Amino acid sequence: MKRTSLIALLLPAALVMLAGCFPHTVPTPDEHPSGFLMGVWHGWIAPVSLVVGFFNDSVRIYDHYNTGWWYDLGFYIAIIGGFGGFALSRKSMKVRREP
């Protein structure tokens, strides 16, 4: 019971915090272009950004206002590393279950 109520409180708070980190289509003039670390972050939250993008036209997966090559490198490292990590963890779980 206690664990369920804690999850019920923390999940909406985490979603609200993530919503502020999505790449948007129109940058504000005082913003700096997204760099390597923002590319990594945007790569990690890309699946969530995709779903939110269906309902909000200003949210995109990829930030077009970026520093170029370094942002791209961070984005692709996160995409490949994040999704590859999920695949490896699923494969190791199957190995453990077999007698």
pLDDT, position 47: 85
Return the SS3 of 59.
Answer: strand
Q: Which domain holds residue 67?
A: 2-97
User: Left (φ > 0), alpha (ψ -120 to 50) or beta: where does 42 sit?
Assistant: alpha
Most confident residue range from 19-28, 29-38, 44-53, 66-75: 66-75
- Domain tally, the chain: 1
pLDDT, position 4: 81
pLDDT, position 77: 92
Q: What is the pLDDT of residues 46-99, one digit of tens each?
A: 888 888 889 888 888 888 888 889 999 999 999 888 765 555 555 555 555 555
pLDDT, position 91: 58
Rounded alpha-carbon distances, angstroms, from residue 63 to 26, 28, 48: 9, 13, 14
